[in-house]
């Protein structure tokens, strides 16, 4: 039964899911039509809202490009590659490979989503090199599936926003939250830890069970995942001879600077020293910018010389193409979803209010989760979703007797849930794996229903 369901899901996604860029265009059209139909905005207003939003994610787009490039460059360092290959040697069977990748990715994403998203994909790629007969598509899907727990973990943007004192918290909650809510009531709340643990265990079991039989397995030739050679350097050294090549760069002052371990050491000392002061001494958080800095300066020191790090970054940079192209379109969709008509009606607000209209105290968290999942397909940003839904859902929850911390976590889970079928967040992992969204989303669709069942039951019976 499970095998037939998986085959149906995989075939459906591969047949109907277009390229992520085309998917973004389709979502743009759907959001525009819906905004005209349900909010009373004119076509001209919708176009203006779309254009006004296109560049609203520029900073975030750069962050995502950098976390991908710097994370990939770090993984390309000889010491890191050696460590990953040792870890990848532990699982001996395809089933064990899927289990290991799901657990590593999920735990890493719970600790920090940027770290987990990149490390999970890179680790999965190394396991594909080491374990014969493992399905490569399912392996990458398993690595990405762990991302669904990030909004219940230490880097979750919505719980951290609720834990940050300030006027913006009072404003976004329409006065229902007057003081910061500590993470002991959100991230470390008993019900949240139980739900997160159940999701990780369920994903591990389901992903492992989804591994196809040998005759249906999509294996990848390990040679295709091997290291690319620097052809330019080979051609140069081949023309003048290896001995002469080494002698030439040793005698060239510019090459001495390019290959200076001292310069790399000074640079890394500055960056890592800053992180030590900010996080360890001053008690700062490991946010996305700090993760990028950690990746970057560890990469510099582990590649030993500036020129080796430059080459690693150059090799990784092409993987960021999908992010650079598609994120502006998703920002435009956010502009359509969040902009209000003259009557103050927004499309995202309409979805949230529809949820409120059919809720009671018991069902409100569950329906908040489901509505957030729908909004997330069009607004795949935790901060953006919080700004749109919090002013509607938090006051409504208080009126029904639901604690704001629970409402916030319900929105957070919804924001993470439909990422399983939203190519927006999968782009970095797909770029590392050199796969298309339709290669993994069939498996992620099964995970989508599993996660929904766990979260719905959790909010119904644990809160």
| Closest C-alpha among 148, 159, 219, 204 to residue 448 | 148
CA atoms within 13 A on the CB side of 307: 10
pTM of this structure: 0.83
| Distance separating alpha carbons of residues 447 and 172, to the nearest angstrom | 32
Phi/psi-derived region of residue 284, left when phi > 0, alpha when psi is between -120 and 50, beta in every other case: beta
* Mean pLDDT lowest among 77-86, 124-133, 284-293: 284-293
Q: Is 38 exposed, middle or buried (0-12, 13-18, 19+ CB in 10 A)?
A: middle
The contacts of residue 268 (CB under 8 Å, 6+ apart) are 297, 298, 300, 301
- Whether the pLDDT of residue 148 is over 60: the answer is yes
Q: Per-residue confidence at 239, pLDDT binned at 50, 70, 90?
A: very low
pLDDT digits (tens, 9 = 90+) for 339-390: 888 888 888 888 888 888 899 999 999 999 999 999 898 887 777 778 778 8
The contacts of residue 274 (CB under 8 Å, 6+ apart) are 293
Helix (H/G/I), strand (E/B), else coil: 3: helix
| Closest C-alpha among 369, 366, 371 to residue 337 | 371
Alpha helices by DSSP H, listed for 304-363, are: 306-317, 321-338, 347-357
Average pLDDT for 46-57: 91
Contact 385, 379 (CB under 8 A): yes
Helix (H/G/I), strand (E/B), else coil: 255: helix
Write the DSSP assignment of 237-248 as a string of letters.
Answer: HHHH-HHHHHHH
Which residue carries 């095998």 as its tokens? 3
């Amino acid at each position: 039964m499970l095998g037939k369901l998986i085959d149906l899901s995989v075939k459906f996604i591969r047949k109907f899911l277009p390229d992520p860029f085309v998917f973004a265009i389709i979502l743009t059209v759907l959001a525009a039509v819906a905004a005209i139909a349900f909010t009373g905005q004119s076509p001209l207003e919708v176009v203006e809202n779309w254009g006004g939003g296109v560049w609203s994610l520029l900073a975030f787009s750069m962050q995502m490009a950098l976390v991908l490039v710097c994370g990939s460059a770090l993984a390309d360092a000889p010491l890191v590659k050696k460590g990953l290959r040792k870890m990848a040697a532990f699982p001996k069977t395809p089933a064990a490979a899927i289990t290991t990748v799901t657990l590593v990715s999920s735990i890493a994403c719970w600790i920090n989503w940027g770290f987990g998203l990149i490390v999970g994909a890179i680790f999965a790629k190394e396991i594909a090199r080491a374990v014969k007969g493992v399905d490569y598509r399912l392996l990458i899907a398993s690595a990405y599936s762990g991302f669904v727990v990030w909004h219940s973990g230490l880097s979750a943007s919505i719980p951290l926003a609720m834990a940050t004192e300030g006027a913006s918290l009072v404003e976004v909650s329409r006065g229902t939250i007057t003081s910061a809510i500590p993470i002991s009531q959100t991230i470390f709340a008993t019900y949240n830890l139980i739900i997160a643990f159940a999701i990780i265990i369920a994903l591990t079991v389901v992903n492992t069970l989804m591994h196809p039989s040998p005759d249906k397995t999509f294996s990848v030739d390990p040679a295709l995942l091997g290291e690319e050679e620097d052809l330019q350097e080979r051609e140069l050294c081949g023309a003048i001879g290896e001995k002469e090549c080494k002698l030439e760069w040793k005698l060239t002052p510019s090459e001495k600077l390019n290959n200076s371990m001292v310069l790399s050491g000074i640079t890394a000392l500055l960056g890592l020293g800053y992180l030590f002061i900010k996080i360890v001494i001053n008690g700062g958080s490991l946010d996305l910018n700090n993760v990028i800095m950690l990746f970057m300066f560890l990469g510099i020191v582990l590649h030993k010389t500036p020129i080796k790090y430059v080459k690693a970054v150059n090799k990784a940079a092409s993987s960021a193409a999908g992010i650079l192209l598609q994120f502006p379109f998703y920002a435009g969709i956010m502009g359509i979803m969040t902009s209000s008509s003259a009557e103050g009606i927004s499309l995202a607000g309409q979805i949230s209010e529809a949820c409120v209209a059919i809720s009671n105290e018991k069902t409100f968290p569950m329906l908040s989760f489901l509505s957030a999942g729908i909004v997330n397909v069009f607004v795949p940003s935790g901060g953006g979703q919080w700004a749109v839904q919090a002013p509607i859902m938090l006051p409504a929850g208080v009126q029904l007797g639901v604690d704001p911390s629970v409402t916030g976590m319900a929105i957070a889970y919804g924001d993470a849930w439909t990422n399983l079928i939203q190519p927006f967040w999968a782009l970095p992992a797909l770029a590392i794996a050199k796969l298309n969204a339709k290669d993994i989303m069939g498996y992620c669709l099964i995970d989508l229903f599993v996660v929904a069942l766990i979260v719905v039951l959790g909010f119904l019976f644990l809160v």
